[in-house]
Amino acid sequence: MNTVFSNKTAICLFVLPTLLIFCGIVLVPIVVSSYYSLLDWNGVGKGTFIGLRNYAEMFTDTRALHAMKNSLLFAAASVFIQLPISLLLALILASAVKGEGFYRTVYFIPVLISTVVIAQLWSKIYNADYGLLNTLLKEIGLSGWAQDWLGQKKTALVFSFIPTLWQYIGYHMLLMYAGAKSISQDIFEAAKIDGASRVRTALCITIPLMRPILKVCLVFSVIGAFKVFDLVYVLTGGGPFFSTEVPSTLMYTTIFDTYRYGYGSAISVFIIAECLVFTGLINKFFKTE
């Protein structure tokens, strides 16, 4: 009994520092932001308690609703474009192709680069005057297609998707690759003996057995899309005319440009709630007996 108790004490002592850090940088800010979201406060002095009025304004403000829609579009692009490409690359690499290690490293390199650097890189590619994209279009005789990709409402949002999709394809690919490699080779050999093709093996064996890692990738992808900030902020700043604005950029401008800390805190609480709700839905979707 003493040994068990001493082990529990040791476990608690080792967990305590991490628990305190987690509370200090995650739980406490969430609680404080939730309190501020109930105030009309400019960041200085004493705020006025207004209850849920900030939330009511957020769900009736066309700018905030547009930002929410953009975040859902980011999530949809991540789920239906980024993850399928990552899965395809992972399945190809896991099939023991020549140069497997080289390609695995190359695909992962964008993940190691700062998002701000990537945003600067792609802003140069999209530049209307000297950008690589317009230069390429002119060189192949499609000069009529050249335009200011980030300066127009009809193209800015779509071309904001591309850098973030490109950056994290390698991240999800590596997770899925590890999941595919962890499957016993005996299963694939049995399928080969039974005459299953590579495509059928992938659809009926590999992907179903990768279900846990697919759930993790889906959660990471959706939460990352809802929290996207630095790439959009550096690329477009939410413009033109708020066409690329997402909740995180709206929260930033609300707090630091208009000094509405209460309303900005309400947006931050909405982002947290949105991530939690969709994580719960994904877990429920993947739940098995």
Q: Measured between alpha carbons, how far is 190 from 196 in angstroms, rounded to an integer?
A: 9
- Under the banding of pLDDT at 50, 70 and 90, the label for residue 100 is confident
pLDDT at 223: 94
Does the structure show a pLDDT above 70 at 49?
Answer: yes
Cα 82 from chain centroid?
A: 10
Mean pLDDT along residues 23-36: 92
pLDDT of residue 185 exceeding 60, the answer is yes
Q: Is the pLDDT of residue 184 over 60?
A: yes
pLDDT for res 288: 64
Domains contained in the chain, CATH given: 62-285 (1.10.3720.10)
Tens of pLDDT, residue by residue over 202-245, are: 888 899 999 999 999 999 999 999 999 999 999 999 989 899 99
Burial of 284 (0-12, 13-18, 19+ CB in 10 A): exposed
Q: Which helix (H) or strand (E) holds 277?
A: helix 261-285
Asked if residue 289 has pLDDT above 70, the reply is no
Residue 134 has pLDDT above 70, yes or no: yes
Give pLDDT, residue 274.
93
Q: Please name the helix (run of DSSP H) or strand (run of DSSP E) that holds residue 40, with its range, or none.
A: strand 39-40
How far apart CA 234 and CA 119 sit, in angstroms, is 6
Tokens for 230? 């630095």
pLDDT grade for 271, boundaries at 50, 70 and 90:
very high
What local confidence, expressed as pLDDT, does residue 136 receive?
93
Contact 236, 24 (CB under 8 A): no
Percent of the chain with pLDDT over 70: 97
